[in-house]
């Protein structure tokens, strides 16, 4: 069951047993509270305590020190997997302890007037994609970088940037917010802090720093306010949504017990259904979460790279402050497949290669993209040998090897201790060579009883089933994007949820690529899946995709939305998600008889209500 689901069925949670409400009101309240996210609950608890204080002025029991009036600080968080959100709560607690008032806003809920009215803005934001803002931070990011950005001379601010140094664009979004706010006239209250994967310590340093700076500027108008989280230490609470024993630095070695091809032999794609055991790991995931796989390059590919180099494979190099051999570093720590602009820039600077310098300076931005497409490190070395460099200098040019994520396609409710993945194996021919993706290539070749995968849990609180089991859902998941929806349905089936379910699936060919076809049909037969609409792009002369099916079914889809349906999109971020988004706008515009601006506002509103959620990659 999703943790935020109301427990309407079965026994009353103990905390409610003696609550002074009649059962119907108690059930309503529990349902309502279950729909709120952390910051909304925090705000509500503060509001209730505050209004109680006002209502009962003079009553001994009333807490006297809850901050009222315009908040001293506006905490803005932009989060995908919940880390920034948890730090926002941590900061809220720190300000509460200093008697400072604040409001916490998800960036998606932040409008221009919030910026205009705020005097201290504390930004906590992660970076996703390839140096992009998290989905829910995009509108604010666009607002600040657009022509309609408000001037911020009246604002003091500070930025906490969350990121992962194994990505090329480390903490890029936080840096952009910081630069932009300063260029809009805001004044830094505290320096930006950039956090790597183990973010807690640096985040705490920033939380302490900004809270102290604010307390100094606003000598508390009230004595120490009571904590909104009685009996909990900030760091503990903040860590809880993300805490689990296994991380990418300390993954769980999970046995693989099934690796089955889902696509038919004649398919142009090789998509696998992989089942692994989580037994003994104590990893508890929810539908919508993903599993991270710690990558490792294949030995033969590393040896091929080493054969093109003049260095000894055992030559020592330093990675993250630790010494290891060049071969080991290439196996575990460096990207030897994909190249990127920063690698080419470093390489061009270190190795005299005018062709690369020209490419970087080219007027036409596509020139570099064309060069990078399908080119691996080995190609670069062969074209431009790293003469004059020693092994450590060469290693410093390379990019770190980032983990790969896979949506969980199973529900612990239905299959305890198991994790199922739906993986498309990346294989292609480039420069006359057969190439494959680092992790999917590895997964494709996994076989044997002793196969294991180093995994960790990547939570995704921004992609969750509705709290109410009665709420209808519409799931749009072509290709491997269908994976989380298998988890959604398995979960809803196990819980006996009554909400209606509608799936849009698409792929290339009906006969070869209909992933999990028998399962959908069984669920259709059992009544769990109320509707399924499919689009197979290569079966007809005119290509048909899920967005075409959505438009065909626009009237019905609009009616579902009017009935409160939540809409989910998972899969390709480049073409599919924008096309689906456009289709959704068109449907709302047409069937709601709205202007395009009004439709856009409705879509944003759906996002704000967490009824339009995307998990795209
Ligand atoms: C939140 C999230 C959930 C995800 N869920 C899933 C999932 O459920 N299932 C799934 O399969 N994937 C999923 N992915 C994608 C997955 O994480 C990997 O990115 C994917 O498997 C490729 O990784 P790899 O290591 O195999 O390939 P990489 O080594 O990363 O290589 C992939 C790259 O190869 C290049 N390439 C690919 N084809 C060609 C070509 N024809 N010509 C030239 N170059 C080419 C492209 O640059 C491409 O980016 C998800 C990603 C995210 C972020
Ligand atoms: C798919 C994906 C892409 C990411 N891309 C980047 C990136 O480009 N740069 C970066 O610094 N961090 C990147 N990260 C790391 C996140 O910013 C980091 O995990 C952060 O703690 C997430 O915070 P959040 O839970 O608030 O979103 C990426 C993480 C994921 C899962």
Burial (Cβ within 10 Å: 0-12, 13-18, ≥19) of residue 156: buried
* Ligand 1 atom index nearest CA of 460: 1
Q: Whole-number mean pLDDT of the chain? A: 89
Most ligand 2 atoms within 8 A of CB, residue of 39, 75, 76, 80 to mutate: 80
Of ligand 2's listed atoms, the one at least distance from the Cα of 134 is: 27
Separation of CA 437 and ligand 1 centre (Å):
7
Contact 507, 513 (CB under 8 A): yes
81 Cβ below 6 A of ligand 1: no
**Cα three-residue angle 318-322-326, rounded to 5 degrees:** 40
Using one digit for the tens of pLDDT, what is the confidence trace for 89-126?
A: 999 999 999 999 999 999 999 999 999 999 999 999 99
The answer on pLDDT for 235 being more than 50 is no
- Closest ligand relative to 167 C-alpha: 2
Q: Which residue has the tokens 């396609």?
A: 409
pLDDT band at 59 (very low <50, low <70, confident <90, very high): very low
Ligand 2 atom 2: the closest Cα is on which residue? Answer: 128
In this model, does residue 447 exceed pLDDT 90?
no
Nearest CA to ligand 1 atom 34: 437
Q: Which ligand is nearest to the CA of 437?
A: 1
Relative to the alpha carbon of 404, which ligand is closest?
A: 1
Say if pTM beats, i.e. exceeds, 0.85: no
Atom of ligand 2 nearest to the CA of 292: 31
Q: Atom 35 in ligand 1: which residue has the minimum CA distance?
A: 374
426 C-alpha vs ligand 1 centroid, how far in Å? 7
Average the pLDDT over 66-77 and give the result.
79
* Per-residue pLDDT at 36: 80
Q: Tell me if 81 CB under 6 Å of ligand 2.
A: yes
pLDDT digits (tens, 9 = 90+) for 373-408: 999 999 999 999 999 999 999 999 999 999 999 999
- What's the 164 CA to ligand 2 centre distance in angstroms? 6
For the Cβ of 353 lying below 6 angstroms from any atom of ligand 1, the answer is no
Least confident of 67-71, 128-132, 304-308: 67-71
- Residues 328-353: pLDDT tens digits? 999 999 999 989 998 999 999 999 89
Check: CB of residue 500 under 8 Å from CB of residue 530: yes
Ligand 2 centroid vs 377 CA: distance in angstroms? 24
State whether the beta carbon of 108 lies less than 6 angstroms from ligand 1.
no
Please provide residue 269's backbone torsions phi and psi, each rounded to the nearest 5 degrees. -125, 155
The residues facing 318 across adjacent strands are 323
490: tokens are 């398995």
The confidence score (pLDDT) of residue 220 equals 59
Cα gap 483→407, rounded to integer Å: 6
Task: Note the pLDDT of residue 228.
Answer: 35
> What length is written for the chain?
617
Instruction: Report the C-alpha gap between 8 and 28 in whole angstroms.
Output: 9
Q: pLDDT at residue 562 above 80?
A: yes
Side-chain-side CA neighbours of residue 575 (13 Å): 5
Question: What whole-number percentage of the chain has pLDDT above 70?
Answer: 88
Distance CA 305, CA 303 (A): 5
> Can you give the pLDDT at residue 221?
54
Helix axes 83-97 and 200-217, enclosed angle (nearest 10): 40
Mutate to test the pocket of ligand 2, among 163, 166, 288 (most ligand atoms within 8 A of CB): 163
Q: Is the CB of 617 under 6 A from ligand 1?
A: yes
CB-CB contact of 141 with 156 (8 Å) = no
Dig out the tokens for 174 from the structure: 């936080």
Please, which pLDDT band fits residue 32 given cuts at 50, 70 and 90? confident
Read out DSSP for 518-563? HHHHHHHHHTS--EEEEEETTSSSS---HHHHHHHTHHHHHHHHHT
Stretch 165-175: mean pLDDT, rounded?
A: 92
β-pairing, 433-436 vs 193-195, is: unpaired
DSSP symbol at 25: H
Q: What is the 615 CA–ligand 1 centroid distance (Å)?
A: 14
Beta-bridge mates of residue 423 = 272
pLDDT band at 67 (very low <50, low <70, confident <90, very high): very low
How far, in Å, is the centroid of ligand 1 from the Cα of 425? 8
Ligand lying nearest the CA atom of residue 373: 1
Least confident of 220-234, 487-501, 509-523: 220-234
């Amino acid at each position: 069951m999703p943790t935020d689901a109301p427990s309407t069925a079965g026994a009353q949670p103990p905390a409610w047993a003696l609550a002074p409400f009649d059962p119907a009101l108690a059930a309503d309240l529990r349902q309502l509270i279950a729909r709120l996210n952390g910051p909304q609950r925090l705000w509500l608890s503060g509001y209730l305590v505050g209004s109680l204080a006002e209502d009962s002025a003079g009553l001994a029991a009333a807490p006297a020190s809850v901050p009222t009036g315009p908040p001293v600080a506006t905490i803005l968080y932009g989060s995908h997997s919940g880390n920034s959100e948890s730090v926002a709560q941590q900061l809220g607690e720190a300000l509460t302890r200093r008697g400072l008032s604040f409001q916490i806003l998800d960036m998606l809920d932040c409008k221009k007037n919030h910026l205009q009215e705020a005097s201290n803005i504390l930004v906590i934001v992660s970076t996703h994609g390839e140096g992009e803002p998290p989905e829910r931070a995009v509108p604010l990011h666009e607002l600040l970088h657009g022509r309609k950005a408000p001037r911020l001379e009246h604002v003091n601010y500070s930025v906490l940037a969350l990121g992962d140094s194994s990505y090329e664009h480390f903490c890029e979004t936080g840096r952009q917010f910081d630069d932009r706010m300063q260029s809009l006239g805001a004044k830094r209250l505290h320096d930006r802090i950039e956090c790597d994967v183990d973010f807690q310590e640096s985040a705490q340093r920033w939380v302490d720093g900004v809270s102290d700076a604010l307390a100094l500027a606003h000598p508390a108008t009230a004595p120490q306010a009571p904590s909104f989280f009685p009996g909990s230490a900030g760091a503990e609470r903040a860590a809880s949504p993300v805490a689990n024993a296994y991380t990418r630095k300390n993954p769980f070695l999970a046995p693989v017990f099934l690796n089955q091809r889902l696509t038919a032999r004649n398919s142009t794609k090789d998509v696998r259904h992989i089942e692994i055991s989580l037994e003994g790991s104590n990893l508890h995931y929810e539908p919508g979460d993903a599993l991270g796989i710690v990558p490792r390059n294949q030995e033969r590919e590393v040896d091929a790279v080493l054969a093109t180099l003049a260095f000894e494979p055992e030559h020592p190099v330093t990675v993250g402050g630790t010494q290891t051999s060049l071969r080991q570093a290439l196996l575990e720590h460096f990207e030897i497949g994909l190249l990127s602009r920063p690698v080419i820039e470093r390489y061009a600077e270190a190795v005299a290669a005018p062709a690369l310098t020209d490419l970087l300076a080219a007027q036409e931005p596509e020139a570099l993209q064309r060069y990078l497409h399908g080119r691996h490190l080995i190609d670069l070395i062969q074209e431009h040998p790293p003469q004059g460099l020693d092994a450590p200098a060469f290693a410093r040019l390379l990019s770190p090897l980032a983990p790969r994520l896979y949506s969980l396609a199973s529900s612990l409710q239905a299959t305890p201790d198991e994790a199922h993945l739906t993986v498309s194996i990346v294989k292609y021919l480039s420069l006359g060579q057969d190439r494959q993706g680092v992790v999917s290539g590895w997964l494709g070749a996994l076989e044997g009883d002793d196969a294991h995968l180093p995994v960790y849990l990547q939570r995704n609180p921004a992609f969750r089933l509705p709290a109410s089991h009665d709420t209808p859902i519409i799931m749009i998941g072509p290709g491997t994007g269908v994976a989380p929806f298998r988890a959604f349905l398995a979960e809803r089936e196990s819980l006996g949820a009554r909400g209606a379910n509608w799936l849009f699936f698409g792929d290339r060919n009906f006969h070869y690529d209909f992933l999990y076809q028998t399962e959908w049909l069984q669920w259709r037969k059992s009544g769990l899946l109320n509707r399924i609409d499919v689009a197979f792009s290569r079966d007809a002369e005119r290509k048909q995709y899920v967005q075409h099916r959505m438009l065909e079914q626009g009237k019905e889809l609009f009616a579902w939305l009017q009935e409160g349906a939540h809409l989910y999109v998972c899969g390709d971020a480049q073409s599919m998600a924008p096309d689906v988004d456009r289709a959704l706008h068109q449907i709302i515009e047409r069937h709601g008889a709205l202007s395009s601006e009004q439709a856009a506002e409705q879509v944003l509103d759906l996002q704000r209500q967490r009824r339009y959620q995307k998990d795209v990659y």
